[in-house]
Amino acid sequence: MENKQKKETSFAIYLINGAVATLLAVIAYFNGPELPIILGYFLLIPLTGLLYDYKICVFTSIVSIASYGLVIAYLIKQTAIIFEPSSLFIQLGFFIAATIILSWLVFKLQKTSRLSPVFQAQDKTRQILNNLDEGIILLDREGRIILVNPQAEKILGIKEGKILQTKNISQSPLDAHQNLNRVLLSGKNPEITAREEITLEKPCKMILQVATTLIKENGKISGALKMIRDITHEKEVDQMKSELISIVSHQLRTPLSAVKWGIKMLLDGDAGKVTAEQKDILAKGYRSNERMIHLVNDLLNVSRIEERRFQYKFAATSIENLVECTINEFTYSLEEKKITLDFKKAEKPLPPARIDSSKIHVVLQNLLSNAVNYAPSGSHIEVKVENMGDKARISIKDNGMGIPESQKPFLFQKFFRADNAVRMQTEGSGLGLFIARNIIQNHKGKIWAESEENKGSTFCFTLPITK
């Protein structure tokens, strides 16, 4: 797409060159054709060609020669000058030769000049920005808009020309200008690329993702680039998926609970004595049903998180007791795989933490479950609680398969499972770590993983503690 500004500049230069060539012809009519035309030719053509475009050089040459020829023809007709064919042909030959030589020189100079590449680079940059699917707004160091690409115009319902002429957008009553102002105010962090979601209500509801990147030259901020994406449809699809998951999960929960207690009664002999073979079959069914209940609970938790209905009830709680109780729930699984577990309490007394114990219990369950499931039989797991002053640090270390380096950035994303984990154990939803991260973040803590493939992993999280 050609730059509008370049079109206007080209038109202006063509117009000026044509006018100057005509003026030189008029001067030639009254003062003699040779001197003014030749001077104008030599001064005008190289300057405009070198600074902007060699095509303008050719255009000016043609206009100048045509004007010169017309003036001479008219003067001959009016017998103002004596017709000398040899002299006329020599002059025209000189102009044609000079045109070819100067055009060639200007074209070569244009490639090596300091000014021409700047125009070319700016034009190429503009073309790239204009053809992006994302909206782009470019700001100078003062925060003033200097560029708006067509996609940004379409998303925000604005026009670049009018925006560049508007001095104070924040004071404008127009909805489009107010929306633009909200985009400009987003991403104020001066150190990093900031991403922010903005919901616009007028003229229609729209959800935008705005990424702000600072432009630096020699360590100093020289401007900013805002990349805008309309994610309204994506959010609507996510909302529909969440609602579907919520409905399906609720409908599955009741029959799964009924199956669970029915099998439990049979295993306990409440419906009569069962043989060892029957008990083994029922135990397998019970474990499978438990996995289904766990999956449904994870789906419901994700649905509540996305709909912001994940309620928290904070109360002073002993973290060490909560960790110890959760570990005890895995006694059977640890014995089954012959895994030893070492629980190390904090060396300094740990004061109670104001947490939602049921939610932190979910985090511990997910992390311990991963450690047990992906650790080899006969291995070792270490659970440690540390007093870090204003926070408690809990770590769960195993010597299992570890996490591939390339997949670590996606570890806490929804439905993500590492390739080696999928190969080893096909069961799993990939929701546990996503839920754990959300819970820890809502407790104003941090969660991360330290891992090396084929050597093991350590999952750590912190919780603020009261003094």
Residue 124, both tokens? 């190429």
Residue 148's DSSP bridge partners are 137
Quick one: which of 1, 257, 254, 241 has its CA closest to 124? 1
Q: What percent of the chain has pLDDT over 90?
A: 18
Lowest-pLDDT range, 299-308, 312-321, 389-398, 454-463? 299-308
What whole-number percentage of the chain has pLDDT above 70? 71
Q: Which CATH number describes the domain made up of 234-306? A: 1.10.287.130
Per-residue model confidence (pLDDT) at position 336: 84
10 Å CB burial of residue 142 (0-12, 13-18, 19+) is exposed
Domain boundaries, the chain: 4-118, 132-230, 234-306, 315-464
- Class in CATH terms, 132-230: alpha beta
pLDDT band at 133 (very low <50, low <70, confident <90, very high): confident
Kindly give the residue spans of alpha helices, DSSP state H, lying in 276-318: 276-306
**pLDDT tens digits, residue range 433-454?**
999 999 999 999 999 999 888 8
Tokens encoding 438: 């959300």
Model confidence at 144: pLDDT above 50: yes
Lowest mean pLDDT among 150-154, 245-249, 384-388: 245-249
CATH number attached to the domain at 315-464: 3.30.565.10
Under the banding of pLDDT at 50, 70 and 90, the label for residue 128 is: confident
CA–CA gap between residue 410 and residue 459 (Å, rounded):
15
**Residue 214 banded pLDDT, cuts 50, 70, 90:** confident
CA distances from 411 to 293, 297, 373, 450, 456 (A): 23, 20, 17, 11, 15
How many other C-beta atoms are found inside a 10 Å radius of the C-beta of residue 57? 26
Give the pLDDT of residue 245: 74
pLDDT in the model for residue 361: 93
Of 271, 185, 198, the C-alpha closest to 231 is: 198
Residue 342 has pLDDT above 90, yes or no: yes
Highest mean pLDDT among 164-178, 263-277, 359-373, 419-433: 359-373
Interval 47-72: pLDDT, tens: 454 444 555 556 656 666 666 566 66
Mean per-residue pLDDT for 146-159?
89
d(CA 416, CA 447): 16
For residue range 180-206, what is the model confidence (pLDDT) as tens digits?
Answer: 888 888 876 655 567 788 888 888 888
> Is a pLDDT exceeding 90 seen at residue 384?
yes
Mean confidence (pLDDT) of the chain? 77
Question: Residue range 411-426: average pLDDT?
Answer: 80
Please determine, for residue 8, whether its predicted confidence score (pLDDT) is greater than 80: no
More confident residue, 108 or 383: 383
Specify the DSSP class assigned to residue 186: S
Q: What is the pLDDT of residue 115?
A: 45
> Of 44-48, 266-270, 353-357, which range is least confident?
44-48
Residue 270: pLDDT over 80: yes
Mean pLDDT score, 157-166 = 83
In this prediction, residues 124-136 reach a mean pLDDT of 84
Q: How far is CA 32 from CA 73, 80, 366, in A?
A: 13, 10, 96
The pLDDT tens digits for 303-317 are 778 777 788 899 999
The pair phi, psi for residue 385, each rounded to 5°, is -115, 130
Mean pLDDT of 413-430: 77
Answer yes or no: is pLDDT of 76 > 50. yes
